[in-house]
Structure 1
Amino acid sequence: MDSERERAEDEWKSWQRGQVRNTLHLVSAAAQWILLLACLIYLGIDSLQPSTVRAHVQPISQSDKVLWTHIRYTGQSIKGVAVNLTAERGSIQIRNGSIMITCDGLYLVSLKGDIIFTDLEEKLLKLTLWKTDKTTSEVLWEQTVQDSSKAVNLTTVLFLFDQNNVTLQTSSNATIADLSFSLVFLGPFICSV
């Protein structure tokens, strides 16, 4: 009788610990969403202010232009070589297939397209967005594509620094179809433009 009572008490305590853990996870998730919402509201309010008020907060350049680029690409990619991106529109420079970052700050990134394997023996392929500077390279985002004709889709905000270059590479030879790649500077940090 005592062992059953102890077992029941142990189960009850275990259940209570699980409830506390679930509550902590819920509180943590709620706090993260509130912080994200606060950041988005801050960025929205800052972008809605008249340019005369924002001039001292966001010194992008003498003319208060928005830094952005939009790229459309269909073509071949070579294993380990940066995709030769060229800007369709926008004010951010692209040199040798690399997007040239000139402002420290937050960037909204959108990347959509289809990957078609050109080497039929390949079973998977990695599409990687790289950030490089004079001395280092770092992966910003990577998606593994397991089936040919697979769509890729990325929408995120990244913090990039002045003098960074952003490139796109594949781990195998492939055809990239209908790639749409946009990068928009959200600020409000200092630029070297």
Structure 2
Amino acid sequence: MAEMEGQPEVEPRNQDKMAREREHAEDEWKSWQRGQVRNTLHLVSAAAQWILLLACLIYLGIDSLQPSTSRSDEVPWTHIRYTGKSIKGVAMNLTAEVGSIQIRNGSIMITCDGLYLVSLKGVNLFPDLEEEDSLKLTLWKTDKTTSRALCKQTVQDSGNAVDLTTVLYLFEQDNITLWISANATIEDLSFSLVLLSPFTHCRG
């Protein structure tokens, strides 16, 4: 009779144990599934990174194989020093000291459209005739169809010096020359011209 009374207590304990084991198995299954999802995400992320890296390498390789343009990357500029005689009505015979802009027959040959910084400095500019009380230096531009003055600088007899800095927009195939209003003796005249703006159109 006592054995029969103890059996109902054993059966619920077995059921509880089975329930706990089932819950534990389900937890392990869910944990394994979460691990699989994480592994899959890591693989997808790694694959995406490798694809992106490969795309970058392909892009760089193609870019490096592109033919180089004929346009030089060197910024057009010139620096000129002039010492000697000037003649009224005749362009000064400029020659470049350093720089990449070509000078032909005293004319600066512009090969790129853009804004240029122009600097004209000098001392000891003496008119040959005493009646001349001042000298006028004129920067002149000539293109295919027209010719005009770009800027002027007056040199007073009391100072005998010139100091001009300005910015001008010049075009491809412009020829730039420097003129003086009278016969004069010039010592150490410095003339610089450099392209400031990015290349817009350049003659190759």
Q: Take 2:80 and 2:156, find their aligned partners in 1: how far apart are those partners?
A: 25
**TM-score of the pair, normalised by structure 1:** 0.66
Which runs of no fewer than 5 residues in structure 2 stay unpaired? 1-67
**Per the alignment, do residues 66 and 126 of structure 1 end up closer, same or farther by CA in structure 2, a change over 3 Å counting?**
same
| 1:107 aligned partner | 116
**Alignment root-mean-square deviation, CA:** 1.8
Aligned position for 2:85: 76
Give the deviation of 1:106 after TM superposition: 0.5
Q: Which aligned pairs between 1:1-193 and structure 2 lie closer than 5 A?
A: 61-114=70-123, 115-147=125-157, 150-188=160-198, 189-193=200-204
Aligned partner of residue 103 in structure 1, secondary structure: coil
After TM superposition, which residue ranges in structure 1, 4 or more long, deviate above 3 angstroms? 59-63
More helix by share: 2
Say if 2:71 and 2:202, in contact at 8 Å, map to a contact too.
no
Q: Aligned with 1:88: secondary structure? A: strand
5+ residue gaps, structure 1, are: 1-58
Mapped to 2, the partners of 1:161 and 1:60 lie a distance apart of 21
Q: Which amino acid aligns with 1:190?
A: H
Which structure has the bigger radius of gyration?
2
CA distance in 2 between counterparts of 1:60 and 1:73 reads 35
Cα distance in 1 for residues equivalent to 2:175 and 2:194: 14
Q: Deviations over 1:47-99 (max 9, x none)?
A: xxxxxxxxxxxx99543111110101101100011000000111000000010
Structure-2-length-normalised TM-score: 0.62
